[in-house]
Amino acid sequence: MWVRTDPAAAGQANIIASHSLNREAMLAHVRLYRTIMYGDSPLSRAEREAIAVTVSAANDCHY
Amino acid sequence: MVQHGESLARESGDASLAEAVASGAWHELDERMHALCGYALTLTRTPAAVSEADLTPLRAVGFDDRAIVDANQVVAYFNYVNRIADGLGIELEDSWPADQRAERHYALGRREFPVVPAGDLTWISVEQMREVDRLMIEEIGISLEQMMENAGRALASAAARMLGGAAGRRIVVLAGPGGNGGGGLVAARHLLLAGADVELALGAPPERFAETPRRQLEIVRVLGMPEHVGPTGDLRDPDLVVDALLGYSQNGAPHGDIARLIRWTVGRRTLSLDVPSGLELSTGTLREPHVVADETVTLALPKQGLREPAATAAVGRLLLADISVPPIVYERIGIPYRTPFGAGPLVEIAARAAHAPID
């Protein structure tokens, strides 16, 4: 259903590359992702990943 | 799930942690992670029911407003990104091993009960429910013990579903001295027989139990189930708490051992029978203390008090269990009724229950 049309999508996870047809949205997504998952926060990296796992499991999202 | 399960294993240095989180075995988590996962689950499953009270467990373990904002961002982001993955059919990259790439369903995400729209059901008053119980026993000949068995069986099914299976799970059943407690004791027995590690905490000394729940207590005692009365200090941290302390007749603020046990449930995954203890159904008022349930299994037909705005956060996801009430009973009381149990004896009432107009 999707293709990697943009060089910026190279090396990105499928989930990000999936919106390479809308380059601005893809770049904004990458920036948001890096900010909330890797940026400064009182939450540890593991705590943030635990939230990710909880939400994805509750949504029964395998990816 | 797979992507971030891997990241969680790496960041925490604990390979089994992702499985524990996804399967709901949260007793393995530290208190900070436990609070974060609880918030993430509630906000994902019942977003419209989230209120200030859902932030209390986060603040209780020391998260400040900035941390809460960050946690909220991560929850919101993963709901967004899950919609992208599902909406576009995104698959894991080829670099993942085949066993990881295989489609899988997670305990937290299991929705195996049929869903019934709230508007298809008549929401009844406490007085009407009391009359249903009376007619069942006096006119139809279905005993309290039979109704209790059906209720407890359904409760055990809901508990097993929440945990992705009962086997090996640690469950604490809080049982009060009345009919509600009797249903909890039936569930305790079924969960024990299904392989769970079950402990009882009684809301009153055994001699104060009414006759029918007392018989249920005798049965689980024969089966050797550990039993606590009084202080909560030696209760272990379970995967799930089953709240069967108080039923639909409860009035006023809980006190004594029952209040102590209700306070002990704070921050723990909890499943309530019929109504969360501390929620006064006749008025829809939350008394202090009260249980904040992740899920509630109500019986026969939903009660009006369960969808009062103040109550919905304490009720959580609402399930409805069949206790075999024939249509003639509802007809007698003038309650419009079409069975919601065509697809099975335990159904989920659609999340919009709280906002649906009264029929």
Q: Which domain holds residue A32?
A: 7-58
State how far residue A21 is from chain B, nearest Cα, in angstroms.
13
Output b/e per residue, B131-164; b: 16+ Cβ within 10 A.
Answer: bbbebbeeeeebebeebbbbbbbbbbbbbbbbbb
User: Which pLDDT does position B357 carry in this prediction?
Assistant: 34
CB contact under 8 A, A51 and B74: yes
Hey, what CATH class is B2-109 in?
A: mainly alpha
Residues 303-332 of B with CB under 8 A from A: none
State how far residue B334 is from chain A, nearest Cα, in angstroms.
40
CB contact under 8 A, A58 and B104: no
Q: Homologous superfamily of B115-355 in CATH?
A: YjeF N-terminal domain (3.40.50.10260)
- Pairing mode of beta strands B170-175, B285-286: unpaired
Tell me, yes or no, whether A44 lies in a domain. Answer: yes
B61 near A CB under 8 A = no
- Whole-model pTM: value is 0.65
Domain count, chain A: 1
* Nearest CB to B67; choose among A18, A42, A55: A42
Quote the mean pLDDT of chain A: 85
CB contact under 8 A, A43 and B11: no
Entry field: residues in chain A:
63
CB contact under 8 A, B86 and A59: yes
State how far residue B312 is from chain A, nearest Cα, in angstroms.
20
* Nearest CB to A60; choose among B5, B78, B109: B109
Tell me, yes or no, whether A21 lies in a domain. Answer: yes
More confident residue, A38 or B119: A38
Taking CB atoms and an 8 Å cut-off, how many pairs form between chains A and B? Answer: 153
CB contact under 8 A, B21 and A53: yes
Tell me, yes or no, whether A2 lies in a domain. Answer: no
B65 neighbourhood in chain A, CB within 8 Å: none
Residue A7: pLDDT above 80?
A: no
User: Which pLDDT does position B330 carry in this prediction?
Assistant: 98
Task: Give the up-direction half-sphere exposure of residue A48: CA atoms within 13 A in the CB hemisphere.
Answer: 22
Residue-by-residue pLDDT tens, chain B, 359 positions: 888 888 999 999 998 898 888 877 777 789 999 999 999 988 998 788 788 888 999 999 999 999 999 999 999 999 999 999 888 888 887 787 777 777 666 767 666 688 788 888 999 999 999 999 999 999 999 999 999 999 999 999 999 988 878 888 899 999 999 999 999 999 999 999 999 999 999 999 999 999 999 999 999 999 999 999 977 878 888 999 999 999 999 999 999 999 999 999 998 999 999 999 999 999 999 999 999 999 999 999 999 999 998 898 899 989 999 999 999 999 999 999 999 998 889 998 986 433 333 33
Name the helix (H) or strand (E) containing B149. helix B144-162
Measured N-to-C along each axis, helices B179-193 and B211-222 cross at an angle, to the nearest 10 degrees, of 20
Tell me, yes or no, whether A63 lies in a domain. Answer: no
CB contact under 8 A, B1 and A45: no
Q: Are domains B2-109 and B115-355 of this chain identical in fold?
A: no
CB contact under 8 A, A13 and B7: no
Assign residue B199 a region (left: φ > 0; alpha: ψ between -120 and 50; beta: otherwise).
beta
Chain A: residues touching B (Cβ < 8 Å) = 1-2, 13-15, 18-19, 32-33, 36-37, 41-63
How far apart CA B345 and CA B330 sit, in angstroms, is 18
Q: Are B186 and B216 in contact (CB under 8 A)?
A: yes
Asked whether the ipTM of the predicted complex exceeds the cut of 0.85, the reply is yes
Q: Which of B34, B75, B108 to mutate to test the interface with A (most CBs of A within 10 A)?
A: B108
CA–CA distance from B66 to each of A40, A41, B62, B275 (Å)? 11, 8, 11, 34
CB contact under 8 A, A54 and B21: yes
Domain locations in chain B as residue ranges: 2-109, 115-355
User: Which pLDDT does position B193 carry in this prediction?
Assistant: 97
Closest chain B residue to A42 measured between Cα atoms? B67
Give the number of other CB atoms < 10 A from CB of residue B208: 13
